[in-house]
A and B are shown apart, each in its own frame.
Chain A
Amino acid sequence: MRELRAALWGVSAFALGYLLPGTLRLPTLAYDPVARTVRFTSQVGGVAMRYYGDLLWACAAGLCAAAAVWIFRRPSRPVAVLAGATLSLVALDVAFYLSRLLASV
């Protein structure tokens, strides 16, 4: 099932693409709602928000991975292994953000 494999690769890449820019402080689009400016920077401070940029990185990674699997038909791996890897990456993201919440309380 090509759709399922594309979806699993897409979600995996999304999970990685969402986690890495924020944790590694990679450059991203940052929007300042007070000054109403958009900058491409890794230094996001004050009221500026990097959420839009991180989400764009993740969407781009997910769509590229899904499209690559859809177009190039990678050698098939067992679906159970792919699904396990995908959910593990999502669980890693959830655990990381949950740990940040618990550390701050």
Chain B
Amino acid sequence: MTVLFEGGARALLVAHAVLGFTAVFATTHHAVSALLAALGRPVQRQLCRFGWMASASTVAQALLGLSLYPVYRVRVRLADLESSAPAVVQLFDLKEHLSALALALVLGASFAGRALPAEAKAAESRAVAALSASGAALVWAAALIGLYVTVRHPVGRP
């Protein structure tokens, strides 16, 4: 029995990790820029630049994660974690949900942030900052949980 993308699981996992770090740093930079914008600083260029980086890296990261998910489900979760560490299974489920919500928040913050004018109303720049900071926090949480589960049992290892 071969699971979808099982042959390239290790390479996909490495790419997933690299893009994960990119997403963490890009979303953090975007959140900091959005918070500075809420304080009245002129950071429109940073919002635009980090908005593209954050959304592109988060979408690519999500696509790689989705392609790795069947291998994780069969070779890691079913074969090992469900019997040896059921709490880790639940932790990974939480990570999936946080990642999905982070994706929506990051895309929304990037889309709204690139259109934020220099003289935006305080409520508007604060709303963008709230979306962006929440997205970055969820990306951080998902990355840390993902690292923990990967240390326990990475995909591609018997």
| Residue in chain A with minimal CB distance to B97 | A97
Is the beta-carbon distance between A1 and B101 smaller than 8 angstroms? no
Interface residues of A in 45-61 (CB under 8 A from B): 47, 49, 51-52, 54-55, 58
Partner pick for B69 among A51, A83, A100, CB 8 A cutoff: A51
Pick the interface stretch among B9-17, B19-27, B102-110, B148-156: B102-110
Within 8 Å CB of A10, what residues of B?
A: 104, 108
CB of B39 within 8 A of chain A?
Answer: no
Is the beta-carbon distance between B109 and A105 smaller than 8 angstroms? no
User: A49 to nearest B CB, angstroms?
Assistant: 6
User: A29 to nearest B CB, angstroms?
Assistant: 13
Interface residues of B in 74-89 (CB under 8 A from A): 74, 78, 86-87
Which of A11, A31, A47, A98 has the largest count of B CB atoms less than 10 A from its CB? A11
Q: How far, in angstroms, from A20 to B50 measured CA to CA in the complex?
A: 32
Given contacts A3-B112, A10-B104, whether A33 and B90 have CB atoms under 8 Å apart is no
Q: How far, in angstroms, from A58 to B97 measured CA to CA in the complex?
A: 11
Count of B interface residues, CB-CB < 8 Å: 43
Identify whether the interface residues of A are mostly helix, strand, loop, or mixed. helix
CB of A26 within 8 A of chain B?
Answer: no
Q: How far, in angstroms, from A90 to B112 measured CA to CA in the complex?
A: 17
Within 8 Å CB of A33, what residues of B?
A: 3-4, 70-71, 73-74
Is the beta-carbon distance between A94 and B98 smaller than 8 angstroms? yes
CB of A78 within 8 A of chain B?
Answer: yes
Which of B78, B91, B96, B123 has the largest count of A CB atoms less than 10 A from its CB? B123
Chain A residues with a Cβ under 8 A of chain B: 1-4, 6-8, 10-11, 14-15, 18, 31, 33-34, 36, 47, 49, 51-52, 54-55, 58, 62, 78-80, 82-83, 86-87, 90, 93-94, 97-98, 100-101, 104-105
Question: 28 interchain pairs (CB within 8 A)?
Answer: A1-B117, A4-B112, A4-B116, A4-B124, A4-B128, A7-B111, A8-B108, A11-B108, A14-B104, A15-B104, A34-B1, A47-B78, A49-B69, A49-B73, A52-B69, A54-B100, A62-B104, A79-B124, A80-B126, A83-B126, A83-B130, A87-B131, A87-B134, A94-B97, A97-B94, A101-B94, A104-B90, A105-B90
